[in-house]
């Protein structure tokens, strides 16, 4: 799924979404109200300017021409008018600065709050959500969707209020001058509205295409970069470039189309403006000659007519931005309102330091819910007990369910039947936090975060001292290896640990687990081959790591299986054999016939 492709058509306004959004804005209500008040004052100041000019003309210039006012008196009057104009202009500029600064700050704050809310929420979501959702989709919520939203909630209401005040204010003032001419001038508003209505739909469509093609480009670049190894090793560069070129042309076309629509819109609006001016000049002049309108008012009329265009255009633009923003807001709140599949019980138990006995009691499990069409049991009636401190090796063909078994221990998923117990307590009855604090998990692909080796080792126990870290490394026998890195424990591991070899990353993960010192250890053994020396280091470390704690190891190495207190053979979601390595070999059952195939010597 692409992240803008699912943008719905015409949905300019959604009350629910808006009120959700405004809960975030309302935290800054005083600043927000300030912006609105400032902008109302600005609008009124702008409305006053043409009227002030009218006074200048009618009260001083025309009487001076008639000879009813002496030149010095006229100049004195005009000086006051000019001072007034300067004052209004200065006020306008000042208010504009305040509005921009305060409004921008609110905008950024709200974006920041929303981003925090997304981050926090994503951390709470369950594994099943991440199985179904691409990382790119989630990132787009916290990134491009937030950008789309930015400003809409601060500027939209402010602009709307200002537009309404300007229109009503200008028309009222004109009616006070002369209601006949005001009526004639107001005749330009309906065509302005109609043209804006027609164009806004076309423009909205055009911009939807622009956004879609832009998002395709982004997605394409992202995919090419993350898959660069595959791209290069399959010599796909030329083909991918062609595809990228197509996407770019699509984007250019979409932009040109949008620009073309704008370029017809503005001249049409200008023309109506000109027609309105002509009406004022002809009809207005006749009123001036008849003595029912002053010359200054005539000039002011032309200026007020000019004030119509801004608001009407603003409303048209508002419609466009609203369309995009509502779609973005819908996706953001959709994410924020996704309930984690795994909940703590209403009054969860807190697990204190456990002994580490783990029991599966007739566990059956599926990744989907029973009402799904493709429902399939992945684990079927699995029962076993790992006594405290025991090491359990899980072996079996690929797709048999080994990783699934070990992800049920930390309750990454809930079982449909049976129970998973730790020290006799159902994992669903304890808080996830206290459950997870008992466990160390080392996955197949050791994931490191950018930072130093030291940072990564302390990841699970941030208050660990450097000495604890060194001790852990010494216990595991990998102190020399880690200290021998270019900057020792202060070596930067790079993004996702890219600066370290697979084997080194494993050892860092092991050290992390030892420092955290969990009662239960879960380990998906890496299948990647490392050099003999590192292999030996890892084997030694592994042995130390599982000492004195309950450990589950999805084993790929013969040495691991041999050392395990108990081996569970998993085939097609069932435990088909169990026992020690030697017993199983001697039994000549499934294990004996398959172990050579699946297990590295």
Ligand X SMILES: Nc1ncnc2c1ncn2[C@@H]1O[C@H](COP(=O)(O)OP(=O)(O)OP(=O)(O)O)[C@@H](O)[C@H]1O
Please report, as ranges, the residues that interact with ligand X according to CB under 6 A. Answer: 131, 367, 378, 396, 398-404
Kindly state the smallest distance separating residue 445's Cβ from ligand X, in Å: 11
Kindly state the smallest distance separating residue 402's Cβ from Mg ion, in Å: 5
Of the two residues 314 and 404, which places its CB atom closer to ligand X in the complex?
A: 404
Kindly state the smallest distance separating residue 367's Cβ from ligand X, in Å: 3
Radius of gyration of the chain (CA): 36
476: closest CA among 431, 539, 430, 433?
539
Q: Is 407 in the site for Mg ion (CB under 5 A)?
A: no
378's contact among Mg ion, ligand X, none, with CB below 5 to 8 A by partner kind, is ligand X
Of the two residues 40 and 443, which places its CB atom closer to ligand X in the complex?
A: 443
Of the two residues 403 and 576, which places its CB atom closer to Mg ion in the complex?
A: 403
Kindly state the smallest distance separating residue 528's Cβ from ligand X, in Å: 13
| Residue 443 Cα distances to 520, 521, 559, 598, angstroms | 14, 11, 18, 18
- Residues 6+ positions from 307 with CB-CB distance below 8 Å: 46, 47, 166, 170
CB 379 within 8 A of CB 363: yes
Beta strands per DSSP E along 278-428: 358-365, 379-386, 391-395, 417-422, 425-426
Of the two residues 280 and 599, which places its CB atom closer to ligand X in the complex?
A: 599
Which of the stretches 203-211, 229-237, 395-403, 480-488 binds Mg ion when contact is defined by CB under 5 A?
395-403
Which of the stretches 11-19, 385-393, 396-404, 477-485 binds Mg ion when contact is defined by CB under 5 A?
396-404
Of the two residues 173 and 358, which places its CB atom closer to ligand X in the complex?
A: 358
367's contact among Mg ion, ligand X, none, with CB below 5 to 8 A by partner kind, is ligand X
Which of the stretches 137-145, 239-247, 400-408, 494-502 binds Mg ion when contact is defined by CB under 5 A?
400-408
Total Cβ atoms within 10 A of residue 72 = 9
Of the two residues 263 and 398, which places its CB atom closer to Mg ion in the complex?
A: 398
Kindly state the smallest distance separating residue 400's Cβ from Mg ion, in Å: 9
- Residues 6+ positions from 566 with CB-CB distance below 8 Å: 384, 386, 390, 391, 392, 393, 578, 579, 580
Instruction: Please count the residues of the chain.
Output: 601
Given CA atoms 491, 495, 501, 502 in this order, what sign does their dihedral have? positive
203: closest CA among 45, 293, 321, 347?
321
CB 2 within 8 A of CB 215: yes
Residue with tokens 């919520």: 141
Q: Is 268 in the site for Mg ion (CB under 5 A)?
A: no
Which of the stretches 271-279, 308-316, 399-407, 470-478 binds Mg ion when contact is defined by CB under 5 A?
399-407
Strand partners, 425: 422
Kindly state the smallest distance separating residue 584's Cβ from ligand X, in Å: 18
Of the two residues 224 and 403, which places its CB atom closer to Mg ion in the complex?
A: 403
Kindly state the smallest distance separating residue 372's Cβ from ligand X, in Å: 10
CB 389 within 8 A of CB 356: yes
184: closest CA among 304, 296, 289, 56?
304
Of the two residues 378 and 421, which places its CB atom closer to ligand X in the complex?
A: 378
Give 147-164 as a 3 state SS string: HHHCCHHHHHHHHHHHHH
Kindly state the smallest distance separating residue 130's Cβ from Mg ion, in Å: 16
Alpha-carbon distance of 125 to 137, in angstroms, equals: 15
400's contact among Mg ion, ligand X, none, with CB below 5 to 8 A by partner kind, is ligand X
Of the two residues 403 and 517, which places its CB atom closer to ligand X in the complex?
A: 403
User: Inter-axis angle of helices 152-177 and 295-336, to 10 degrees?
Assistant: 160
242's contact among ligand X, Mg ion, none, with CB below 5 to 8 A by partner kind, is none
DSSP 421: E
Of the two residues 399 and 488, which places its CB atom closer to ligand X in the complex?
A: 399
Strand partners, 422: 358, 425
Kindly state the smallest distance separating residue 401's Cβ from ligand X, in Å: 4
Which one among 133, 144, 403, 576 touches Mg ion, defined by CB under 5 A?
Answer: 403
Kindly state the smallest distance separating residue 392's Cβ from ligand X, in Å: 14
Size of the site for Mg ion (CB under 5 A): 1
Kindly state the smallest distance separating residue 222's Cβ from ligand X, in Å: 22
- Residues 6+ positions from 232 with CB-CB distance below 8 Å: none
Of the two residues 173 and 555, which places its CB atom closer to ligand X in the complex?
A: 555
Binding mask 185-214 for Mg ion (x = CB under 5 A): ------------------------------
Query: Is residue 479 helix, strand or coil?
Result: helix
Which residues contact Mg ion (rule: CB under 5 A)?
Answer: 403
């Amino acid at each position: 799924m692409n992240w803008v492709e699912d943008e719905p058509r015409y949905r300019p306004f959604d009350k629910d979404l808006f009120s959700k959004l405004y809960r975030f804005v309302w935290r800054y209500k005083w600043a927000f109200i300030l912006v609105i008040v400032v902008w109302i004052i600005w609008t009124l100041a702008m409305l006053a300017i043409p009227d002030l000019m009218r006074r200048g003309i009618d009260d001083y210039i025309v009487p001076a021409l008639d000879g009813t006012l002496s030149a010095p008196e006229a100049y004195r009057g005009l000086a006051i008018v000019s001072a007034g104009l300067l004052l209004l202009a200065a006020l306008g500029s000042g208010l504009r600065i305040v509005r921009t600064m305060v409004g921008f700050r609110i905008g950024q704050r709200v974006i920041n709050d929303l981003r925090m809310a997304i981050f926090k929420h994503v951390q709470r979501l369950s594994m099943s959500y991440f199985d179904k959702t691409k990382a790119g989709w989630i990132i787009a919520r916290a990134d491009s969707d937030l950008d789309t939203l930015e400003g809409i909630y601060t500027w939209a209401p402010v602009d709307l209020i200002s537009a309404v005040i300007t229109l009503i204010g200008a028309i009222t003032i004109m009616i006070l001058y002369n209601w006949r001419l005001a009526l004639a001038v107001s005749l330009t508003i309906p065509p302005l509205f109609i043209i804006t209505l027609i164009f806004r739909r076309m423009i909205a469509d055009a911009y939807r295409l622009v956004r879609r093609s832009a998002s395709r480009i982004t997605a394409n670049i992202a995919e090419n970069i993350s898959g660069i190894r595959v791209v290069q090793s399959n010599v796909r560069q030329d083909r991918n470039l062609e595809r990228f070129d197509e996407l770019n042309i699509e984007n250019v076309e979409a932009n040109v189309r949008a620009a073309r629509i704008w370029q017809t819109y503005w001249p049409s609006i200008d023309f109506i403006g000109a027609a309105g001016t002509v009406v004022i000049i002809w009809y207005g002049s006749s009123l001036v000659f008849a003595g029912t309108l002053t010359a200054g008012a005539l000039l002011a009329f032309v200026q007020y007519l000019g004030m119509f265009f801004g608001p009407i255009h603003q409303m048209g633009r508002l419609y466009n931005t609203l369309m995009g923003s509502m779609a973005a807001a819908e996706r953001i709140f959709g994410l924020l309102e996704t309930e984690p599949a795994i909940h703590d019980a209403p009054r969860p138990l807190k697990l204190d330091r456990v002994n580490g006995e783990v029991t599966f009691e007739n566990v059956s499990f599926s990744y989907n819910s029973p009402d799904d069409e493709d429902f399939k049991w992945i684990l079927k009636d699995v029962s076993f007990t790992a006594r405290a401190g025991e090491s359990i090796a899980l072996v079996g063909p690929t797709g048999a369910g080994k990783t699934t078994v070990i992800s049920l221990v930390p309750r990454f998923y809930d079982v449909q039947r049976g129970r998973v117990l730790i020290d006799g307590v159902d994992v669903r009855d304890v808080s996830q936090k206290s459950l997870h604090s008992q466990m160390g998990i080392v996955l197949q692909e050791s994931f490191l975060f950018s930072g130093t080796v030291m940072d990564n080792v302390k990841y699970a126990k941030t208050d660990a001292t450097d000495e604890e870290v060194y001790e852990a490394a010494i216990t595991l026998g990998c102190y020399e290896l880690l200290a021998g890195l270019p900057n020792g424990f202060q070596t930067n591991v790079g993004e996702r640990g890219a600066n370290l070899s697979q084997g080194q990353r494993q050892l860092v993960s092991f050290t992390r687990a030892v420092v955290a010192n969990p009662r239960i250890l879960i380990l998906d053994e890496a299948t990647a081959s490392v050099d003999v020396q590192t292999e030996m280091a890892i084997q030694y470390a592994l042995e130390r790591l599982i000492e004195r704690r309950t450990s589950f190891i999805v084993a790929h190495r013969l040495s691991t299986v041999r050392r395990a207190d108990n081996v569970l053979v998993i085939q097609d979601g069932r435990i088909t054999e169990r026992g020690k390595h030697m017993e199983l070999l001697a039994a000549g059952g499934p294990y004996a016939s398959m172990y050579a195939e699946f297990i590295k010597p």
